[in-house]
Structure formats: C-alpha cells, structure tokens
Amino acid sequence: MAAFDTGSTGFMLLATSLVMLMTPGLAFFYGGLAGKRNILGIMIQSFVSMGITTILWWAFGYSLCFSGNAMGGIIGDFHKAFMHGVNLNTAYSGNPKMPEFVFFAYQMMFAIITPALITGAFINRVTFKAYLIFLILWQVLVYYPFVHMVWGNGLLAAWGVRDFAGGIVVHATAGFAALASVIYVGKRRDRESPPNSIPLIAIGTGLLWFGWYGFNAGSELDVDAITGQAFINTDVAASFAAITWLVIEWSLVKKPKFVGLLTGAVAGLATITPAAGYVSLNSAVTIGIAAGGVCYLAVHLKNKMGWDDALDVWGVHGIGGCLGTILLGVFAAHSINPGTADGLKYGGTTFFMHQLIAVVGTCIYAFVFTYVMLAVINVVTKVKVNEAEEVKGLDDAIHGEQAYDAGVV
C-alpha cells in the first residue's frame, strides 16, 4: 500500500465534502426563490445531477477531462474510462501526496453542481425528461471540453489561460448556457411569482458560502499558504460584494433587501472563484466591490432587455465568472502564486489578453451550443411544458408532489 500524506489527503476529502454540500445548498437557494408551486421541480433538478453526473463521471467523464489529449487539446481520451488503471496505490500526478481517487471525487463534485446552476434560469418552463437529456449532453459537449482545456493540460492551459477554481469552466459556461436557455424557452406566463421562502434562500446561501471554501481553497489541491490565501480571498470578496449590492439597492429602492444581500454574496463568490489563489487580499477586496456593482447592473440590464432569467443565473454566475476571469488578468501576481503570469497591473498585457479572449470564446460557445442543443432535444421530446402544466405548477403537474401541505401555506 502506497504511503500518502494524511494531511493533504484528509484536507482534500474535507474539501470534496464541502463542494458536495454546495449542490443541496443550491437546491435550497433556488427552492426558496421559486414560487410555491415549483419548489420541488427546481430542487430535484439539482439533486438528480448528484446521481446522473456521478455515473457519467465514473463511466467516462473523468477520463475525457483528465486523461490524454485529443483533438488538438480540446478533449481527453477514454484511457481511464470506468477508472481503468486507477487503484488504491495510484497517486494523483498533480500532487503525488494524495490518491488519484480523491482527485477523482473532488472534481466530480464540480461536475455535479455546474449544470445544476443553469436550472435557475428556466424554472417552471422545462419538462423533466428534456432536462435529463440536457444534463447529459451539456456535460459531455460543453463542460468536459472546458475542464480538459483549462484544468486537464489542454488547449487553453497550454496557451497560458488560468482559472483557479472555475470562472471559465463553471460560471461562464453555466451562465451563458442559462441565457441561451431563457431565450429558447421564452418567458414565464406568471412573472410576478414571489419567492416562497426567504429563510430557505438564506439557508441555501449559507451552505453555498460554507461550501465555497472547499470549492476555492481546495482547488490548490494541497495544504499550503496559497490554500489559506484562496480561503480568505473567498470570504472577503463575498463580504464586500454582499455589502456593495445591499448599499446600491438600498439607495435605489429605499429599503435594505435581504434577498439582495444574499444575492450579492453569491455574486462575490462566483467572481472571486477564478482568481482566489492568484491574487492578493487587497485585490480580492476590489474584486468583491466590482462583483457587487457589475452583477447588480447585469441583473438590471437583464430586466430591461426582457430576458426572463428567473433566478438571475446569467447576471450573477455568468457575468460574475466573466468579470472574475478578466480581473484575474488584471490582478494576477506571480509573486503570490508561481503558477500564474503577472496580470495587467504588473505589466502582463499578454496574459490579460489571453484571459479576455478565452472568456469571450467560452461564452460564445456555451451560448450557441446550448441553444442548438435545446432545439435538437425538442425534436426528440418537448422541451417546454404546456400551458396547463405551467399554470398548475410543475411540482404537481410533473412530479405529483407538493412541497408544503395545503393547509400550511
């Protein structure tokens, strides 16, 4: 039996557990924001990803992301399909102090939550059968290639693009897929449906914020000073973004909104993600303030454009991921993390341009491919629910269940 470092292995198992907790947290966050007739419909879309994505990841997803280098570095190969050749003694090549099984599990949690992020955009408009097909195809044809290109030593990594924990890979892809989904399925018939439970939104936010420490600090894949830097940067950016959002909204609508505070925190978490282990604490403060302001404006723009992104996935995750990736190109410091080039602030013009081009290309691909994929799925099975189902609510119409007893709510 190989001797692995218990500290590094134990920390990564803890980080994996934290990232796993984010998916139920997302379900609570979205479930609270949903109208009372569509709580279960949105929550099951997160939880079912935990099952289906695990199966895909074991069968071939992990291999396509982290094995080989095919199609010019766009995707991997099937060498490690069904975890072929990986046993208890196999060390992870990126950090031989821990077993490859642990890295497999950690990255699987990212794969689980990424497509679930998209679901908040098209709440109560998409059939469950179509969503299951979407869940599979989107991972294989959008998520896996970007994981490989950025984190699997693929095309973008070789070009010098950096993404510490998922600004491009997770948030930009999911956010612009969400926008494409909204445009494809159209508007809800009842857009005035208020959140059914703000306390549930708060619980979800708390779980997401807590889990995000594993998401960002764990992405160092070791226990060192950069791990600590990523941890504190995550907390600081979320805090500054939350307060920035609160202040902006309070000044405009004359009331301090709790949902706004919570949404701002999530925007800050999404925005710091690509930069967490590459920038200074002071830069994280700037990134957090920028996240609160820019993501708030993005949501305002969405409303002005009439895009019915019900739970603001594009404005918070899509724009947050893009903003964080671009600001990484500004504030990245080689002195903090030797794994990155210096950003624009320190003379790294080329690195900044690579970050900018990469994120623009990612958004275009995720948007176009998602729209086309939904059109193809619609040929196989209807994507959008009918009017009667939407009016009745998907909890009852599709799932035959209700979140609350009728006498309670």
Q: What Å distances lie between residue 136 and 133, 289, 298, CA to CA?
A: 5, 36, 29
Where residue 86 falls among pLDDT bands split at 50, 70, 90?
A: very high
Per-residue pLDDT tens over the stretch 307-324: 999 999 999 999 999 999
Where residue 156 falls among pLDDT bands split at 50, 70, 90?
A: very high
CA 324, 17, 40 angle in degrees (round to 5)? 80
Please state, in angstroms and rounded to a whole number, the distance separating the CA atoms of residues 249 and 368: 33
User: What integer best gives the mean pLDDT of the chain?
Assistant: 96
Would residue 219 count as lying in a domain? yes
Per-residue pLDDT tens over the stretch 338-363: 999 999 999 999 999 999 999 999 99
Would residue 228 count as lying in a domain? yes
Cβ 115 vs Cβ 108: under 8 Å: no
- What six digits make up the tokens of 384? 């959008």
pLDDT at 409 over 70: no
Would residue 406 count as lying in a domain? no
Would residue 153 count as lying in a domain? yes
313, 303, 222: which is closest to 266 by C-alpha? Answer: 313
pLDDT at position 325: 98
- Please state the pTM of the whole predicted model: 0.96
| CATH number of the domain where residue 358 is located | 1.10.3430.10
Where residue 405 falls among pLDDT bands split at 50, 70, 90?
A: confident
pLDDT at position 190: 77
Per-residue pLDDT tens over the stretch 254-289: 999 999 999 999 999 999 999 999 999 999 999 999
Would residue 280 count as lying in a domain? yes
pLDDT at position 407: 62
Quote the percentage of the chain above a pLDDT of 70.
99
pLDDT at position 3: 86
Would residue 85 count as lying in a domain? yes
DSSP three-state, residue 149? helix
E strands of 56-142, at which residues? 91-92, 95-99
Quote the percentage of the chain above a pLDDT of 90.
96
Instruction: Indicate the residue type of 176.
Output: F
Q: What Å distances lie between residue 108 and 19, 103, 118, 147, CA to CA?
A: 9, 8, 17, 11
222, 299, 189: which is closest to 15 by C-alpha? Answer: 222
Domain containing 339: what range? 6-397
299, 323, 362: which is closest to 120 by C-alpha? Answer: 299
pLDDT at position 193: 77
Residue 255 exposed, middle or buried by CB count within 10 Å (0-12, 13-18, 19+): exposed
DSSP three-state, residue 75? strand
Where residue 223 falls among pLDDT bands split at 50, 70, 90?
A: very high
Would residue 148 count as lying in a domain? yes
pLDDT at 158 over 70: yes
pLDDT at position 194: 86
pLDDT at 146 over 60: yes
Please state, in angstroms and rounded to a whole number, the distance separating the CA atoms of residues 158 and 154: 6
Q: Who contacts 290 (Cβ-Cβ below 8 Å, separation ≥6)? A: 271, 323, 327
- Number of domains observed in the structure of the chain: 1
Would residue 408 count as lying in a domain? no
The arithmetic mean of pLDDT across residues 211-237, rounded, is 98
Q: Who contacts 61 (Cβ-Cβ below 8 Å, separation ≥6)? A: 53, 108, 111, 139, 140, 144
